[in-house]
């Protein structure tokens, strides 16, 4: 892959892209929601399929000339249905939020009640945050995690469900390291006659590899993004029971989106094919192992890991013992070439703009081929940086160590810039 045309035609944009490629190459990326898509996926999403208007669905489009994009969308739908054993799929959502919006628009009326996880305890913006459409259109009741165990308090979820009778219950989070008990959510939803939506955006790759329970067996609706653990192009998709197919299709188009991004849908199809391979399953296993190693190392270093560990690709580190905020920690780490995000810990005494923790994820470093030895080294680097954040000499040394480490595990050796 090269950029020879762009370089000539638009040197300014080429320069921004080149710098970003080099940043990704030379940084230890530990943001849990990011990954590094394959060259096959990058090629599909940069193809001339971007030129095609295809409002509608395969074999039922508003414009002519859709024969071949139909092939791509059909392949994407078949592959994702088979990957997650789902009866129905819609691969057109531009993002996870659009996927959630389409599900909500297909079964809810404005003013209906939804029960979802509190953002402060690990939930997601599109599950009812007051500034998001979901919080503006619906009456939102939130559940959190237990103060002691930092696990979802299913007793609280049931109690809230019985009290407020939500029409939709949402399970799924962006900063919850543990396995979510979908069968318990199903039981609660059934007790109050609610629909269940599982947003598996974060852990979809682990589900595809059989390392996390498959929510399709429990929920009427399952939404996800393709670019997190699933390691595909940026975008979303919806899985559901067949009886909801018409309602979801029309909630998405013409309800909230116009022409689908056919180049991205083709790249999603490639992602779903890659996710069926043994190599992908082995990759997800290493993602999980690396995350568990991080937890053990941080605990050995005397730090507290939220909920005591992880069952997934992410962990939350409580920094209060070191006496540094999540915001300061992420800035210190960025200066030495490590990217993380500040994150609230459950029942955080600090505001979201500061936060007491950081979220760490292993999808990207595992894609680069890093394993136990490197994770142990990175844990030490993070610990030393955060405990010596005012010692520039130590930080300079750690930055060199990060630089040497990333050079040994190139991210995109075949991209010519």
Q: Are 114 and 170 in contact (CB under 8 A)?
A: yes
Query: Is residue 368 flagged as an active site residue?
Result: no
Query: Is residue 225 flagged as an active site residue?
Result: yes
- Residues within window 278-337 making contact with ligand DSN, judged by CB under 6 A: none
Nearer to ligand DSN, 100 or 113 (CB): 100
Q: What's the CA gap between 358 and 6, in Å, rounded? A: 37
Nearer to ligand DSN, 33 or 142 (CB): 33
Shortest CB 31 distance to ligand DSN, Å? 7
Q: How does DSSP assign 8-30, residue by residue? A: HH-HHHHHHHHHHHHHHHTSEE-
- Residues within window 82-121 making contact with ligand DSN, judged by CB under 6 A: 96
Q: What's the CA gap between 117 and 309, in Å, rounded? A: 20
Nearer to ligand DSN, 34 or 187 (CB): 34
Nearer to ligand DSN, 75 or 314 (CB): 314
Q: Are 1 and 39 in contact (CB under 8 A)?
A: yes
Shortest CB 174 distance to ligand DSN, Å? 3
Beta bridge partners of 29: 339
Helix (H) or strand (E) holding 402: helix 392-408
Q: What's the CA gap between 282 and 113, in Å, rounded? A: 41
Q: Are 175 and 147 in contact (CB under 8 A)?
A: no
35 touches ligand DSN by CB under 6 A = no
From 228, 268, 342, 384, the catalytic residue: 228
- Residues within window 10-29 making contact with ligand DSN, judged by CB under 6 A: none
In terms of residues, how long is the chain?
417
Shortest CB 33 distance to ligand DSN, Å? 3
Q: Are 113 and 141 in contact (CB under 8 A)?
A: yes
Shortest CB 182 distance to ligand DSN, Å? 20
Query: Is residue 55 flagged as an active site residue?
Result: yes
Nearest-5° angle of CA 200, CA 159, CA 96?
Answer: 20
Nearer to ligand DSN, 106 or 343 (CB): 343
- Residues within window 233-272 making contact with ligand DSN, judged by CB under 6 A: none
Beta bridge partners of 142: 116
Q: Strands 113-117 and 168-171: what pairing?
A: parallel
- Residues within window 348-367 making contact with ligand DSN, judged by CB under 6 A: none
Nearer to ligand DSN, 119 or 188 (CB): 119
- Total site size for ligand DSN, rule CB under 6 A: 4
From 34, 53, 273, 397, the catalytic residue: 53
From 153, 199, 249, 374, the catalytic residue: 199
DSSP alpha helices (H): ranges in 165-306?
182-192, 204-208, 245-250, 262-274, 278-300
Shortest CB 124 distance to ligand DSN, Å? 6
Q: What's the CA gap between 391 and 388, in Å, rounded? A: 5
Q: What's the CA gap between 256 and 105, in Å, rounded? A: 9
Q: What's the CA gap between 368 and 281, in Å, rounded? A: 15
Nearer to ligand DSN, 47 or 95 (CB): 95
Give the CA distances from residue 67 to residues 53, 70, 72, 94, 264, in Å, rounded to whole numbers and listed in that order: 12, 5, 9, 21, 17
Query: Is residue 383 flagged as an active site residue?
Result: no
Which tokens hold the place of 275?
Answer: 């996710």
Helix (H) or strand (E) holding 364: helix 363-367
Shortest CB 264 distance to ligand DSN, Å? 17
Which tokens hold the place of 292?
Answer: 């568990």
Shortest CB 253 distance to ligand DSN, Å? 22
The only residue of 27, 28, 29, 33 in contact with ligand DSN, by rule CB under 6 A: 33
From 18, 34, 55, 184, the catalytic residue: 55
Shortest CB 377 distance to ligand DSN, Å? 25
Nearer to ligand DSN, 249 or 311 (CB): 311
Nearest-5° angle of CA 360, CA 129, CA 306?
Answer: 30
Q: What's the CA gap between 130 and 138, in Å, rounded? A: 9
Q: What would the x/- binding string for ligand DSN be over residues 156 to 175, using CB under 6 A? A: ------------------x-
From 142, 225, 310, 366, the catalytic residue: 225
- Residues near ligand DSN, by CB under 6 A: 33, 96, 124, 174
Catalytic residues: 53, 55, 199, 225, 228, 234
């Amino acid at each position: 892959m090269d950029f020879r045309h762009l370089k000539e035609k638009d040197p300014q944009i080429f320069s921004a892209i080149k710098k970003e490629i080099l940043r990704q190459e030379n940084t230890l990326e530990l943001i849990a929601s990011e990954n590094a898509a394959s060259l096959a996926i990058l090629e599909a999403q940069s193809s001339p399929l971007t030129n095609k208007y295809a409002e509608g669905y395969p074999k039922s489009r508003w414009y002519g000339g859709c024969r071949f994009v139909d092939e791509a969308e059909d392949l994407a739908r078949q592959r994702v249905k088979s990957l997650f054993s789902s009866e129905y799929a819609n691969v057109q959502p531009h993002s996870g939020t659009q996927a959630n919006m389409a599900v909500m628009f297909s079964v809810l009326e404005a003013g209906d009640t939804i029960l979802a996880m509190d953002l402060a305890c690990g939930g997601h913006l599109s599950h009812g945050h007051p500034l998001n459409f979901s919080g503006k259109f619906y009456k939102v009741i939130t559940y959190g995690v237990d103060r002691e165990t930092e696990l979802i308090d299913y007793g609280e979820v049931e109690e809230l469900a019985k009290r407020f009778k939500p029409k939709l219950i949402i399970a799924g989070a962006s900063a919850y390291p543990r396995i979510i008990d979908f069968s318990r959510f199903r039981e609660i939803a059934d007790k109050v006659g609610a629909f269940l939506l599982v947003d598996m955006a974060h852990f979809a790759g682990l589900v595809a590899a059989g390392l996390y329970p498959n929510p399709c067996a429990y929920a009427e609706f399952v939404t996800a993004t393709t670019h997190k653990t699933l390691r595909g192009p940026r975008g979303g998709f919806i899985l559901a029971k067949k009886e909801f197919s018409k309602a979801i299709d029309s909630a998405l188009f013409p309800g909230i989106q116009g022409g689908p991004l056919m180049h991205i849908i083709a790249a999603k199809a490639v992602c779903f094919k890659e996710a069926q391979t043994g190599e992908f399953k082995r990759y997800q296993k290493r993602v999980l192992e690396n995350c568990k190693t991080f937890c053990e190392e941080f605990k050995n270093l005397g730090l507290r890991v939220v909920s005591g560990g992880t069952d997934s690709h992410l962990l939350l580190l409580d920094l209060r013992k070191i006496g540094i905020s999540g915001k300061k920690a992420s800035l210190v780490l960025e200066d030495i070439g490590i990217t993380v995000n500040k994150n609230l810990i459950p029942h955080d005494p600090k505001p979201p703009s500061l936060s007491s923790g950081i979220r760490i994820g292993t999808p990207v470093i595992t894609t680069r081929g890093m394993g136990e030895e490197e994770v142990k080294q990175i844990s030490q680097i993070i610990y030393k940086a955060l405990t010596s954040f005012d010692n520039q000499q130590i930080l300079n040394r750690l930055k060199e160590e990060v630089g040497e480490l990333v050079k040994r595990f190139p991210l995109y050796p075949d991209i010519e810039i």
